[in-house]
Structures are given as C-alpha cells and as structure tokens.
Amino acid sequence: MAWFHTWWHDEIVHGYKGPLMLSFAAFVVTFVIVRVITRMIRAGKGPFGNISSGGVHMHHSTPGMLILIAGAFIGIGSPPLSGWTYGAGVAIGLGSALVLDEFAMLFRLQDVYWTQEGQLSVNIVTLAAAVIGLGAVGLSPAKVDQMSAVSVVWRGIAVTLLIAHLLFVTLTALKGKYSTAIVGVFISPIAWFGAIRLARPTSPWARWFYSDHRKAHAQHRADTFDKRWDSVRVKWDDIIAGTPSMPNPPSGH
C-alpha cells in the first residue's frame, strides 16, 4: 500500500485536496441516499413521504440550493484548510447533489422527475461525479505547481503542450462531444481521440465545416453509435434513476 500512502501524502495532504475529497464523498453519498428514498416513496415503502407546505410540494433542490449557497460563502470566507473549509466542502457536495438530482426539473421548469426526460439528471450527476472525482484524485493535464522546478525550455514545452491540449478539448466540444471534452480536460488522450473523430451531425463544427455529404456520413455514424450504445445507457439510467413511470411532457411547454 506504499503507492496509496504516497498518493495520499502528495495529492490529498500536500495537494490541499482534503476539502475537495470530502465534497466528492458527500456528493456521491447524498445522491445515492436521495435516489433510494425517492424510489421508496414512489413504491410506497418505508417511513418516508413527500414534504408539502400549504399544498405546495417541497422539492429537495430547494434546501439543496440553500445548503450549496451557504457552503460556498463559508468556503470563500474561511481560513485555508480550517475546520470551516472542510465543513464547507461537505455542504457544497451535499447541496450540489440535491440540486443536480433535480436538474431536469429545473431545466424544463416542469415536474419531469419520473419521466424519460427526467433521467437527464442522472447523466448530469454521473458527469459531475466523474469530473469531481478526477479532480480529487489529482488527475490533471499539467502539474502547474511543479513548473518552477524545471528549466525555462521545459516550461516552454509544457506550456505549449497544455495550450495544444486545451485546443483539443475545445475542438472536441465543438464537435458535439461534451461529456468527452469535460473528462478529456483531466485525461488528455480522451480529448485527443475525440478531437480527431467525426463530429456529431448537429454540432457547431458540422454546421460550419461539413458539406451535405459529410453531414450525411456523420449522421450515419451517429445513428450507428446510438443504436449500439443507447440500450446500455437506458439500462444504466433505469438502474440509477428508476424506470420512468410518466410520459414526457409535450414539447414547447
């Protein structure tokens, strides 16, 4: 376990990642607990029930926003790595999970929690957890704090590679591969791979640079990819979020 001790010492202790690690743990644990409780409520099991006041249903994103805001202000107003900072990290993780679990509802301004569209929240939470987790374990395209220990030439090379990496990330996003771009910020080869691949047919890159023939090819590639992986994505969403029991609301409302 020497590698774990080294990693913990370098990344968490001396990398000042303690509050971020606590925030990540609070984020994941809170999301799991919330999904378990909401599914128990839907199934009519357990001691839990919806909270209402004056006939108005209280969604958990409401206290989540208050906890998130409180954690943010405590975090920026506290001494570095004090107990308050660690507490703020927990509050931010907890509040973020409560808010993002109802992201689809906030995005649509409708109660779509148990619809197919409501599973957008699971996609957002999964992506957010991946980004926070990658940041917490110390993955980064460049170790900026180590730049001062190398020569000017190597610093120039490192900065050049970092700029190239950010260009690859931007290109991946312009090609409509947003999840790939975000994860690629931390894992460089993923961004490089996404940048050289064919763009999604509805992406800005396809609209700006693709001919009709190229767009048709991109559409065929996207349809093939979606046909292969959509069933896997749907099963994952159903396992985490629960199988939708309500129809999607009409478009445009």
The torsion region of residue 210 among left (phi > 0), alpha (psi -120 to 50) and beta comes to beta
Residues 236, 242: Cα–Cα separation, whole Å: 9
Per-residue confidence (pLDDT) for residue 105, from 0 to 100 = 85
Whether the predicted pLDDT of 184 surpasses 80: yes
Asked if 90 and 212 touch (Cβ cutoff 8 Å), the reply is no
Structure tokens at 100: 């993002």
Residue-wise pLDDT tens digits, 91-137 = 999 999 999 999 888 888 887 877 877 777 887 888 888 888 877 77
